[in-house]
Amino acid sequence: MKKEEAKKRIEELSSELHRHNYQYYVLSTPAISDFEFDMKLKELEKLEAEFPDLTYSNSPTKRVGGEVTKEFRQVKHTYPMLSLGNTYSESEIVDFITRIKKIISEDVEYVCELKYDGVAIGLKYENGKLTNAVTRGDGVQGDDVTTNVKTIKSIPLQLQGEDYPNIFEIRGEVLMPHKSFEKLNQGRISRNETPFANPRNAASGSLKMLDSAAVAKRHLDCYLYFVLGEDLPFNNHYDNLVAARKWGLKVPNYIAKCKTTDEIIDFINYWDKARSQLNFDIDGVVIKVNSYAQQQQLGFTAKSPRWAISYKFKAEQVSTKLLSIHYQVGRTGAVTPVANLKPVLLAGTMVKRASLHNADIISKLDVRIGDTVFVEKGGEIIPKILGVETAVRDLFSIPVEFVRTCPECGTQLIRREGESAHYCPNEEGCPPQIKGKLEHFISRKAMNIDSLGEGKIGLLFDKNLIVNVADLYDLKYDQIFGLEKIYAADLEKKERKVSFREKATKNILKGIEASKNVSFPRVLFALGIRYVGETVAKKLTEHFQSMDALMSATYESLVDVHEIGDRIAESVINYFENENHREIINRLKQQGIKMEIEDVVGLKSQKFEGKTFVVSGVFQNFSRNSIKEAIAENGGKNVSSVSGNTNFLVSGDKMGPAKRAKAEKSGVKIITEEEFTEMLNG
Ligand code: IVH
CATH of the domain at 410: 2.40.50.140
The predicted pLDDT at position 195 comes to: 82
The predicted pLDDT at position 493 comes to: 41
Q: Is the pLDDT of residue 275 over 50?
A: yes
- Are 231 and 367 in a shared domain? no
Tell me 594's DSSP state. -
The answer to whether 439 and 460 are in contact (CB under 8 A) is: no
Q: Which of the residue ranges 328-342, 417-431, 480-494, 537-551 would you say has the lowest mean pLDDT?
A: 480-494
The predicted pLDDT at position 149 comes to: 95
Cite the beta strand spans of 490-590 per DSSP E.
495-499
SS3 667: coil
Between CA 624 and CA 618 the distance in angstroms is 7
Report the percent of the chain where pLDDT is more than 90.
63
Helix 431-442 × helix 454-462 angle, to 10°: 130
Tell me 240's DSSP state. H
Between CA 495 and CA 189 the distance in angstroms is 10
For the domain that residue 49 is a member of, what is the CATH number?
1.10.287.610
Q: Is the pLDDT of residue 383 over 90?
A: no
Q: What DSSP letter does each residue of 1-31 carry, written as one string?
A: --HHHHHHHHHHHHHHHHHHHIIIIISS--S
β-pair partners for 485: 498
- Are 219 and 113 in a shared domain? yes
Residue 83 alpha carbon to ligand 1 centre in Å: 6
- Are 275 and 362 in a shared domain? no
The answer to whether 322 and 369 are in contact (CB under 8 A) is: yes
SS3 260: coil
Tell me 530's DSSP state. T
Q: Is the pLDDT of residue 146 over 70?
A: yes
Question: Whose Cα sits closest to atom 22 in ligand 1?
Answer: 83
CA dihedral 48, 52, 56, 57 (to 10 degrees): 110
Please say which residue of 312, 345, 366 terminates a domain.
Answer: 312
Our measurement of the distance from residue 356's CA atom to the centroid of its chain's CA atoms, rounded to an integer in Å, reads 26
Residue 308 alpha carbon to ligand 1 centre in Å: 9
Between CA 219 and CA 206 the distance in angstroms is 9
β-pair partners for 116: 282
Please say which residue of 384, 416, 448 terminates a domain.
Answer: 416
Q: Is the pLDDT of residue 243 over 60?
A: yes
User: Mean of the pLDDT values across residues 488-509?
Assistant: 71
Cite the beta strand spans of 233-305 per DSSP E.
256-258, 282-289
Q: CA–CA distance from 654 to each of 147, 279, 621, 647 (Å)? A: 14, 35, 15, 21
- Are 151 and 286 in a shared domain? yes
Residue 100 alpha carbon to ligand 1 centre in Å: 19
Catalytic residues: 115
Write the pLDDT tens digit of every residue in 300-357.
987 899 999 999 998 778 899 999 999 999 888 999 999 999 998 886 678 899 989 8
Which residue from 86, 310, 311 has its CB within 8 A of the most atoms of ligand 1, so it is best to mutate?
310
Q: Is the pLDDT of residue 612 over 70?
A: yes
The predicted pLDDT at position 56 comes to: 85
Task: Write out residues with Cβ below 6 Å of ligand 1.
Answer: 82-84, 113, 115-116, 120, 173, 225-226, 286, 305, 308, 310
Question: Whose Cα sits closest to atom 6 in ligand 1?
Answer: 115
For the domain that residue 470 is a member of, what is the CATH number?
1.10.150.20
Residue 69 placed within a domain = no
Between CA 578 and CA 584 the distance in angstroms is 10
Please say which residue of 485, 517, 549 terminates a domain.
Answer: 517
H or E element: which one contains 45?
A: helix 34-50
Q: Is the pLDDT of residue 496 over 90?
A: no
Phi, psi for 86 (deg, rounded to 5):
-100, 145
Task: Write the burial class of residue 394 (CB in 10 Å: 0-12 exposed, 13-18 middle, 19+ buried).
Answer: exposed
Residue 300 placed within a domain = yes
Closest CA to 337 of 387, 400, 398, 381: 400
Domain residues for 667? 612-681
The predicted pLDDT at position 337 comes to: 94
SS3 590: helix
Residue 279 alpha carbon to ligand 1 centre in Å: 19
- Where b means 16+ CB within 10 Å and e means fewer, 131-152 reads ebbbbbbeeebbbbbbbbbbbb
- Are 17 and 99 in a shared domain? no
The predicted pLDDT at position 17 comes to: 93
Under the banding of pLDDT at 50, 70 and 90, the label for residue 358 is: very high
The answer to whether 472 and 509 are in contact (CB under 8 A) is: no
Contacts for 537 with CB less than 8 Å, ≥ 6 apart: 521, 522, 524, 525
β-pair partners for 227: 170
Q: CA–CA distance from 175 to each of 12, 198, 199, 295, 396 (Å)? A: 31, 11, 7, 28, 47
Q: Is the pLDDT of residue 492 over 70?
A: no
Residue 115 alpha carbon to ligand 1 centre in Å: 6
Residue 426 placed within a domain = no
- Are 273 and 342 in a shared domain? no
- Are 59 and 93 in a shared domain? no
Tell me 258's DSSP state. E
Write the pLDDT tens digit of every residue in 254-268.
999 999 999 999 999
Q: Is 452 left (phi over 0), alpha (psi -120 to 50) or beta?
A: beta
The answer to whether 426 and 419 are in contact (CB under 8 A) is: no
Helix 34-50 × helix 3-21 angle, to 10°: 150
Q: CA–CA distance from 246 to each of 72, 97, 468 (Å)? A: 31, 31, 61
The predicted pLDDT at position 65 comes to: 72
Helix 178-190 × helix 199-207 angle, to 10°: 80
Q: Is the pLDDT of residue 671 over 70?
A: yes
H or E element: which one contains 568?
A: helix 566-577
The predicted pLDDT at position 506 comes to: 94
Average pLDDT of every residue of the chain: 90
The closest-lying atom of ligand 1 relative to the alpha carbon of residue 304 is 2
- Are 59 and 88 in a shared domain? no
Q: Is the pLDDT of residue 552 over 90?
A: yes
Q: Is the pLDDT of residue 646 over 60?
A: yes
Q: CA–CA distance from 595 to each of 44, 218, 437, 506, 598 (Å)? A: 56, 42, 19, 26, 9
Amino acid (1-letter code) at residue 447: M
Between CA 221 and CA 226 the distance in angstroms is 16
Question: Whose Cα sits closest to atom 21 in ligand 1?
Answer: 120
Residue 271 alpha carbon to ligand 1 centre in Å: 17
Residue 383 alpha carbon to ligand 1 centre in Å: 25
Contacts for 388 with CB less than 8 Å, ≥ 6 apart: 365, 366, 367, 368, 371, 372, 373, 374
The predicted pLDDT at position 380 comes to: 58
Tell me 411's DSSP state. P
The predicted pLDDT at position 350 comes to: 80
Write the pLDDT tens digit of every residue in 34-81.
888 888 999 999 999 999 898 888 899 888 777 777 788 999 999 999
The predicted pLDDT at position 378 comes to: 66
Question: Whose Cα sits closest to atom 16 in ligand 1?
Answer: 115
Residue 423 placed within a domain = no
- Are 450 and 369 in a shared domain? no
The predicted pLDDT at position 343 comes to: 92
Residue 596 placed within a domain = no
The predicted pLDDT at position 644 comes to: 83
Residue 469 placed within a domain = yes
Write the pLDDT tens digit of every residue in 513-541.
999 999 999 999 999 998 999 989 999 99
Q: CA–CA distance from 612 to each of 227, 636, 651, 680 (Å)? A: 41, 6, 14, 14
Write the pLDDT tens digit of every residue in 74-89.
999 999 998 899 898 9
The predicted pLDDT at position 603 comes to: 66
Task: Report the domain count for the chain.
Answer: 6
Which residue from 78, 83, 241 has its CB within 8 A of the most atoms of ligand 1, so it is best to mutate?
83
Q: Is the pLDDT of residue 601 over 70?
A: no
Write the pLDDT tens digit of every residue in 276-313.
889 999 999 999 999 999 999 999 987 899 999 999 99
Between CA 533 and CA 219 the distance in angstroms is 36
- Are 176 and 56 in a shared domain? no
- Are 355 and 393 in a shared domain? yes
Write the pLDDT tens digit of every residue in 7-29.
999 999 999 999 998 988 888 78
Residue 425 placed within a domain = no
Under the banding of pLDDT at 50, 70 and 90, the label for residue 487 is: low
Question: Whose Cα sits closest to atom 17 in ligand 1?
Answer: 115
Bigger pLDDT: 638 vs 168:
168
The CB-side HSE value for 96 (13 A sphere, CA atoms) comes to 27
The predicted pLDDT at position 489 comes to: 43
The predicted pLDDT at position 192 comes to: 67
Tell me 275's DSSP state. G
User: Do the strands 308-312 and 86-87 form a parallel or antiparallel pair, or are they unpaired?
Assistant: parallel
- Are 404 and 487 in a shared domain? no
- Where b means 16+ CB within 10 Å and e means fewer, 493-512 reads eeebebebeeebbebbbebb
The predicted pLDDT at position 381 comes to: 63
Which residue from 96, 114, 115 has its CB within 8 A of the most atoms of ligand 1, so it is best to mutate?
115
Which residue from 87, 114, 225, 292 has its CB within 8 A of the most atoms of ligand 1, so it is best to mutate?
225
Residue 116 alpha carbon to ligand 1 centre in Å: 8
Task: Write the burial class of residue 650 (CB in 10 Å: 0-12 exposed, 13-18 middle, 19+ buried).
Answer: buried
User: Mean of the pLDDT values across residues 119-139?
Assistant: 95
User: Mean of the pLDDT values across residues 609-631?
Assistant: 87
Residue 302 alpha carbon to ligand 1 centre in Å: 16
Residue 175 placed within a domain = yes
